[in-house]
Structures are given as C-alpha cells and as structure tokens.
Homo-oligomer: A and B are copies of this chain.
Amino acid sequence: MTVNNENSTPLSDPHLNDVLPVSPKLVEEIVCALDQLNKEQVDFLLRPLHSADIADVFEQINDNHRKLLTSLIGSRMEPDVLSELDDSTLDDVITEMDDKDVARAVSQMESDDAVHVLEDMDENEQRKIIDALPDKDRLIVKEGLSYPEDSAGRLLQKNLVSVPGLWTVGAVIDYFLIEENLPDEFYEVFIVDPMHHPIGTAALNKIVRSDRDKKISEIMEKEPTLVRVDTDQEEVAYLFRQYDLTSMGVVDDGGRLIGVITFDDVVDVIEEEAEEDLMLMSGIQETDITESVFVASKNRVTWLIVNLGTAILASMVIAMFDATINEMVALAVLMPIVASMGGNAGTQTMTVTVRAIATRELTATNMKRIIFREFSIALLNGVIIAILIGGLSWVWFDNTLLGLVMGVAMIVNMIMAGLAGILIPITLDKVNIDPALASSIFVTTITDVIGFFAFLGLASQVLI
C-alpha cells in the first residue's frame, strides 16, 4: 500500500506506452497554471489525461482551484469526468457549471451514469437539469430516479443489445454493423422472445467463434442470471462476483428485459460495500474524506456521543465499587486492562462475524458450528491471556489472590466478549439492522460493563 508515487510504478516506465496517472507534481503544475489563469497551460496539462484522472485532479485540489478549473473547462466538460467524480466534488463542480452545460453532458451519458450524477443533487438543481434535457433522455432519467436508492434500477443502463432467437449468428454480426444505436461498450447479446422476455444470452466471444449459419438460440447460454429492477445492489454485486459476470439483464415485474448492468458499475459497489462495513464499524460515513470539516465533525460526533453513553454506563459500574477501590488502589490500576482486552477480543470476533454475514459465509447451515467455534477460541485465548496477566498482577503487587481475581475476571470477560462478538451481529441482522453499524456499540458496552463488574465484584468478595 503506497501513496501514489510516480517513480515506483511501471506506469512511468518510458518503455511502456502508458497512461500517466495523476502525480503530485502534475497536480502542482495544474494548480500553478490555474493561479496564473493560464488557460492554454491548463488545457495542455489535462489533454493527455484519461477522464478518470481528470476527475482525480478535481478531487485533489482545494475549493478555490476547483471553482477556477470548473469555470475554465466547464463548458467543454467531458461527461465521463462528471460520472467519475465523488459525490461531494461532483456537487461543487455542478454548482459552478452552467445548467445548460450540465444538461448537455448528462444527455451524452449512458442512463446509469446520468442517474448517478443526478441522484444526489438537491431537488431544485435536479429539476432544473432534468428540465433542460432532451425529451427522450428526460423520460429515461426520470425512470431511473424512480427506482429505490441502492437498487438494480439505479445501476442499469437502458441501452442494450437484444435479438430474437430465430436470428442466425451471421444476422447478429451484420446487425452490429448497421445498427447505429448500440451501447458504447457491450459484452454479450440478450436473446428475447416476442414479449421481450430474455430466454438466453450469448457472449460476444462465443458469437465470433460460431458459424454464421447457426441459429443464435443454439449457441446461447440458456439460463441467464437475471435480477428484478428492485433488487438490492448488494445482491447484484454478490451475483456478479459469484458467477464472474461481465453484465447482467434486469427485468421488470412482468419479466420483460428493461436494462443491463455492467461489471464496471458493480466493481464500485463491491469495493463500496466492503469499505462501508469498515467505516460503519468505526462510526464514520463512507464519504467522510471528501466532506467539509463541519459535516464530517457533525457525522462523527453522533457516534462519539453514543459511545460516551456506554463509557458512562461503565463508569457507573465502577462507582458501585468505589469503597472497594478506596481500600485497594491496585484495583484501579488493573481494571482498565480487563475492559480493554475484552474489547479487543470482542472486536475480533465481531469483525469476523460482520464480514461473514456480508459475504454469506455465515449461513443458517453453519451458524451453530461457528458460534461454538467462537466460544472455543474465546475460552482458549481467555485462558492464555488470564495466565499472562494473572501472573504479572501477582508479581507486580505481590498478591496471589489479586492475581487469581484478575485471571478469573479475564476469562469471564473474554468468553462474554466472544459470545457478544458473534451473537450481537447475528441478532441485529435477524431484526434487519445493519450489523456493521450497531454491533460495536453493543459489544463495547458488554465488554466494559462485564469487565469492570467481574473484576471489581470478585475483588470486593475475595480481597476486601
């Protein structure tokens, strides 16, 4: 994992006739040209870049330079640059662009990209852009936006290649040559019945390897993987990954083919979903890095306040034993260790469980086995850590009984942590709460409260 470094990648190798990624030096030169309002120099620097790289430039420069760059190239903005921008940069750029220019760019996009660009705008802005679109595009975009967020409907591209099963391979290949309105990229052809129900798919690389005289229905894959338009994007991503798909048909309630989802949109979903779990577990929005200080601060502080609640709960447990601590201050020294180790062990189990649920490795079939497995691991590691810290406490405070109390409290807390780490995400998932979002709050509360209670409670009985 290295920060983009132009010298460490083969891309800068002169022997490889290659696209240059966005180097810090290049961004600096662009910023410098922007400061001098040198339009020609900006154009010269951007010209060799792929639209995805130009989007990166927009994301990396600060607000002022972003405004300057938008005002310079906004009227000639490549549609692909807009669709590659992250949400908050896109918002900045579109606000700065002329509505007509945005509408022109949007009308040149495939429908999935157009919907992606429009979906997060505020309503007024969105209406203005949609009104400025040509009639045909307006209908398609409105249809896309009518599907639920994070559903297949938002990812689908209306434009696809479909042919009747009676056509020969030769006829299909001739159709490619004469039909002008084919998608920019496509990887397979859908074979449909007269009602436009998909009955099969044929990959391009199968078509070009087949005799011109064969019927397309003879070479097609007869059980195409399809999803309904309201399917969750996570489900879509799972199917793409499971079956190594390049594209997938989307059907309406009547089973008619209404669009296609291509792998490039799903690659983004796959990374987002895995990243989302990581972010949610730490109480951050996925878009955090691109948000302003105030928005990010507001989003993060909610999580911190909830955690403050659990920390106060743990403190109240300690307060119950203030007399005990007063008699033996060593307890105050050692008690955070019990809670902290429980927290770490609980987080380990919880992370494994959250991901196993997301990737469907944890199912009703193996659930009992995996719960027992986590219990066993917790018991084993609890004993190991208990021996280490029990022994150390004994030596440190020269008190055998204190070492014993520490060890027993540690085993109790580690087992509870393991059980909480697996049972809480499973339970949350059952009641349809995202386990990545809420698990860690519950797990930490349990490990803190039980950790302090087991240690101080045992100490008050045995030691005082």
- Which residues of A approach B to under 8 Å, CB–CB? 1-4, 9-10, 13, 15-19, 21-22, 24, 27-28, 50, 52-53, 56, 59-62, 173, 176-177, 182, 185-187, 199, 203-205, 207-209, 211, 222-228, 231, 234-235, 240-244, 246, 251, 255, 263-264, 266-268, 270-271, 274-275, 277-279, 281-284, 288-290, 293-294, 296-297, 300-301, 303-305, 307-308, 311-312, 314-315, 318-319, 322, 325-326, 329-330, 332-337, 339-341, 344-345, 347-348, 350-352, 355-366, 369-370, 373, 376-377, 380-381, 384-385, 388-389, 392, 429, 432, 434-436, 444, 448, 452
Contacts and interface: CB of A to CB of B under 8 A. Distances in A.
B315 A337 contact: yes
A305 B410 CA distance: 13
Contacts of A380: 293-294, 297, 301
A385 B186 contact: no
Contacts of A315: 333-334, 336-337
B293 A373 contact: yes
* Ranked 5 nearest A-B pairs via Cβ: A274-B274, A24-B364, A332-B332, A244-B264, A282-B351
Contact of A362 (B53, B289, B359): B289
A1 to B, nearest CB: 5
A308 B176 contact: no
Contacts of A294: 380
Given A16-B226, A225-B19, A3 B361 contact: no
Contacts of A337: 308, 311-312, 314-315
B240 A18 contact: no
Given A185-B205, A315-B334, A326-B329, 10 more contacts: A1-B234, A27-B363, A267-B267, A270-B270, A283-B348, A300-B345, A305-B385, A307-B344, A314-B337, A318-B336
Contacts of A246: 187, 246, 263
A343 B27 CA distance: 35
Nearest to A361: B289
Contact of A363 (B24, B361, B363): B24
Stoichiometry, as copies per complex, reads: 2
5 contacts: A15-B255, A177-B211, A278-B278, A278-B351, A308-B389
Contacts of A207: 208
B361 A59 contact: yes
A225 B22 CA distance: 15
A45 B337 CA distance: 52
Given A3-B364, A52-B243, A209 B185 contact: no
